[in-house]
Amino acid sequence: MQHQGSYTDQFSLQGKIVFISGSTRGLGLEMASAMARCGAQVYINGRTSASTAQACAMLAEQGVSVQGIAGDMSVPQDIEQCIATLEDRHGRCDVLVNNMGIRIRQPLAAFDIEQMRQMLEVNLLGAMYLSQKAAALMHRQRWGRLITITSVAGEVARPGDAVYPVTKQGLTGMMRALAVEHAQAGITSNAIAPGTFATETNRQMIESEAGQTLARRNPTGRWGQPEEIAGLAVFLASDLSAYVNGQVIAVDGGLSVLF
């Protein structure tokens, strides 16, 4: 496909309908802000109406307009309601970012079956069902972008963190399956694998000796700032990424390639 106009225009998300799960803070909120600044109509998501409204208000204070749809993306009925809201308001969903996730750091021997089930339902099954429903809308206009947030931790194993990498590897498998299944309909599927980012969730670790050691190990010598993930998210959501499909792209300062 030959692109027309400037590359700046092709990075524009003007008029695109974007839904980002688990996006009331951290990396999800930064991606929402960036996509909205590029012209998209962005819907952020949190488990409660209060948290979602608070995040919308926070961005509004920065001059960024987004809307919120509350719902637990590990609950099928909530997923169905979110997609129904997008369909009722716009008849479509152009970009989905699967960003929800939880992490329980402990060895496999310490997990009970309910904790395992919880991590699988939140991190993997919810994303699978949400992607299924969003892709069905994307097929109507034969254009769409499925973006899944995995982790560099999905490619390695570390003591005391047994189930999280399993769920992230599962997301990679899902992303690749979607890439094959939907590409001929103009729908691409890719993943962003963040490394160590200075988010609210990681604040305690950042300030610890272990966190400082981790920063020194990174080729950049520091933790990533949340806004540093936003550019790749915008690119993958744009027209310019049309031939990028089925890929996991790490955003980690080079940590994953350091021997």
7 counts as catalytic: no
DSSP 248: E
The tokens describing 188, both together, are: 């691409």
Among 7, 129, 164, 243, the one annotated catalytic:
164
Strands (E), 152-220: 187-194
d(CA 50, CA 14): 28
Would you tell me the crossing angle of helices 26-37 and 230-237 to the nearest 10 degrees? 50
Q: From residue 30, give the alpha-carbon distance in Å to each of 7, 25, 33, 233.
A: 23, 8, 5, 10
36 Cβ contact list (under 8 Å, min separation 6): 42, 59, 64, 65, 66
The DSSP secondary-structure symbol of 224 reads B
CB 190 within 8 A of CB 172: no
| Active site residues per annotation | 164
